[in-house]
Amino acid sequence: MGRMRIALAQLNPTVGDIPGNTRLILEAIDRAREEAADLLITPELAVLGYPPRDLLLREGIIQACEEAVEQIARAVHEAGGAGGGPTVIVGHPRQTRHGRRGVRNSASVCHGGQVVAVHDKRLLPGYDVFDEDRYFDPGTETTVVEVAGRRLGILICEDLWRAADVDLRSTYEFDPVAEAVEAGAEALIALNASPFVRGKFARHVRYTSELAQRTQRPIVMVNQTGANDDLVFDGRSMIVHADGTLRAMLPAFEACTRTVELAGEAIVPVDELLGADSESLDSTWNALVIGTRDYIRKTGHTRAIIGLSGGIDSALVAAITAQAIGADNLIGVRMPSRFSSPGSLSDAQETIERLGIGEAHEIPIREAHKLMQSILDPALGDVTGTLADENVQARLRGVILMTISNATGGLVMSTSNKSEMAVGYSTLYGDMCGAVAPIADLLKVDVYALSRWVNDHHDTLGFVQPPIPENSITKPPSAELRANQTDQDSLPEYEVLDQIVERFVERDQSVERIIEETGIDATVVEKFTRMIDFAQYKRDQAVVIPKVSPRAFGRGRVMPIVMKPLPVRISQQA
C-alpha cells in the first residue's frame, strides 16, 4: 500500500460520561489534524465507554450516544478547513429497528460533516466477563469503506479475534476477516476494548502477525486503555504489516494519540517482541496500579484508607495505592489487638515510613474486643479462642476503617488475596470490607513474587527505597487473631494451596485430575475444593477485584451460591 497516515486514538473513557468521552475524541481529532492524518480510529464503544453493561438499558442513553456521534462528525468538518479534516471511525452503541434488542455495537465512519457508513459488530462474545449477546443484536453485513483512495475493512474486537486471543476454540459460523478480504478490503481496521490478562498480549501479537500474513493485508488495531470497574485495559494498539512485521505499537497502560504512516518501515520483528517476557511482573504491577487509580479517580475520590497489619498483603496494597494516587493521599491505620506481636506493629510502622504515607493512626481494638466479649458472653458463653471470637476482631477493624471512610471521604482498600478469597479465609464485613481489593486476583505465591519485584525495582517505579519491609516478606503469614497463630494452622503451605486454587478456579479442573497431576494428598484436595465452593456466598458480597488472571472472582466466574458439588471418588485414585 502507498502512503496513508493513520492516527490511533488510544483513549481512557469513563463509562457513561458521554460529554467527557466526546471531549477526549475531539482532542484526539485535533491532534490527528495537526499531524496531517488521513484517518483517525477510536476504541470500541468509545463514546459510551466499555463495558457499559446494563447502562445500555437506561432510557435515553443510546440517543445521547448517537447525538454525540453527530456532534463529532460536524466538529471534524467545521474545523477541518478545505480538506474537511481526517475521516474518523468512532465506536458507539446505536438504536436499530431490527433484532430482538434493537441495539447494536457499532462503528460510524464520519466524513464531510456526516456519518457516511456504519459497521455493526458481527461476533458478540458471551464468555468470561463478556455478555454482549445479552445487550446487542449482531450485525449482518461486511463493511468496506474507501478512505484516501484505500479500501478499508472495518471490524470490531471479536470480529478480529474470534476468541483466539483467549485460547478458546472458535465456534463462530463465519469469519468477518475473510469476508472483508473477499469484499475487497486492502487493509483491516479493528476497534477494540480488549481487557488485560497476563499472557494475553503475546497471543494478540502472534495472532495479528499470523493473520496479516495469511490475508496479505495490514492490520490496524486500536485498543482502549485505563480501567472501568473490574476490567483493566492495557492499550498497546498496533499496526502490523502484511508480511507480519510490526509497524507501530502504542505504549502500555497509557492514553495517547499517535499518527503513523501505514506503509512505513517496520519497527521490530514480531519474533523479537515475542521473545520478551509476556507475563512479566511489571505488566501485572501496572495493571493493578491503573485498576486502583481509575477506580478511585473515576468514582470522584482522591484519598484511600488501608488497615496496616504488618503483613505482606497490606504492605503490597499500600504500595500499589501509593503509586496509584500518591502516598500523601493515603491514610494508614494500625489496629493492634491483644494478639498483635511487637514485630507486626513495627513492620506496619516501617511500611508507613518507607512509603511516606501522608496520614497515619494507631487505634487499638483491645478494649473494644473486651467490651464485645462482655456483651456476647451472656448469650453465647465464653467464645475466647473460637472462630467467632477471631471474626469479632476482624469486624471491629472493619468498623474502624469504614468510620474513617465516612469521616474523610476516602475509600477503604481491602487487602485480601486470591488464595484467601478462594477458601473463605477472610471475614465478611471485616478484612473484606471496602471499595476495591487490588490484590484479590493474585495468589499468595504471586503476592510474594510481586512484592520482591517491587522492592528490586523500587527506583525505576519512583519509590525512594524498597517500599515493602523485608520482614513482612520473610516472616510466617498470620492473621494474629489468637495466640501464636499462623495461616498454616488452618491452611496447607501456600505453594500447595495455590496449585489447588489455580487448577480448580482458573482451569476448572476436576478434583480427580488435580490429585492425579499434582500428587497432592486426596483428602487435602477434596477439603479445599469444597471450601472454595462453600465460600461462594462470601465472594458474591466481595468488593471490586481488578482482573489480571484468565479466571478472576467476580463477573467472569458466575457460580451458584447454593450447590452440592459432585462427590470425589478418592478410592479410584492410584
Q: Which of 99, 117, 98, 97 is nearest to 107 (CA)?
A: 117
β-partners of residue 252 are 235
Helix axes 494-501, 444-456, angle to 10 degrees: 110
For residues 549 and 166, the answer to whether their CB atoms sit within 8 Å is: no
Alpha carbons 411 and 387: distance in angstroms, whole number: 28
Q: Respond yes or no: is residue 157 known to be catalytic.
A: yes
How many CB atoms within 10 Å of residue 54?
9
Q: Is 511 helix (H, G, I), strand (E, B) or coil?
A: helix
Q: List strand residue ranges (DSSP E) for 148-303, in order.
A: 150-156, 187-192, 219-223, 225-228, 231-234, 238-240, 246-249, 256-261
Instruction: Say which of 65, 110, 121, 526 is annotated catalytic.
Output: 121
3-state secondary structure of 81: helix
Q: How far apart are CA 515 and CA 525, in angstroms?
A: 7
Task: Give Cβ neighbours of residue 362 (< 8 Å, ≥ 6 apart).
Answer: 333, 334, 335, 336
The stretches of 183-265 forming alpha helices (DSSP H) are 200-215
The yes-or-no answer on residue 121 being catalytic is yes
Other C-beta atoms closer than 10 Å to the C-beta of 156 total 30
* Other beta carbons within 10 Å of 317: 28
Catalytic residue, chosen from 65, 110, 132, 157, is 157
- Cα separation, 394 vs 427, whole angstroms: 7
Per-residue b/e over 505-523, b at no fewer than 16 CB within 10 Å?
Answer: bbeebebbebbeeeebebe
Choosing from 44, 132, 186, 480, the catalytic residue is: 44
Q: Is the peptide bond before 477 cis (omega within 30 degrees of 0)?
A: no
Q: What are residue 368's phi and psi, to 5 degrees?
A: -65, -35
Q: Is 141 a catalytic residue?
A: no
Closest CA relative to residue 7, chosen from 74, 63, 87, 61: 87
* Cβ–Cβ under 8 Å, residues 88 and 79: no
Distances (CA, A) of 408 to 86, 411, 500: 47, 9, 40
DSSP conformation letters of 326-376: -GGGEEEEE---TT--HHHHHHHHHHHHHHT-SEEEE---HHHHHHHHHHH
Mapped onto helix, strand or coil, the DSSP state of residue 531 is: helix
Angle at CA of residue 167, ends 166 and 168, nearest 5°: 95
Q: Is the sign of the CA dihedral 77, 81, 87, 88 positive or negative?
A: negative
Give the integer Cα–Cα distance in Å for 332 and 353: 10
C-alpha cell at 496: 500447595
- Are 315 and 266 a contacting pair, CB within 8 Å? no
d(CA 321, CA 325): 6
Residues tagged active-site: 44, 121, 157
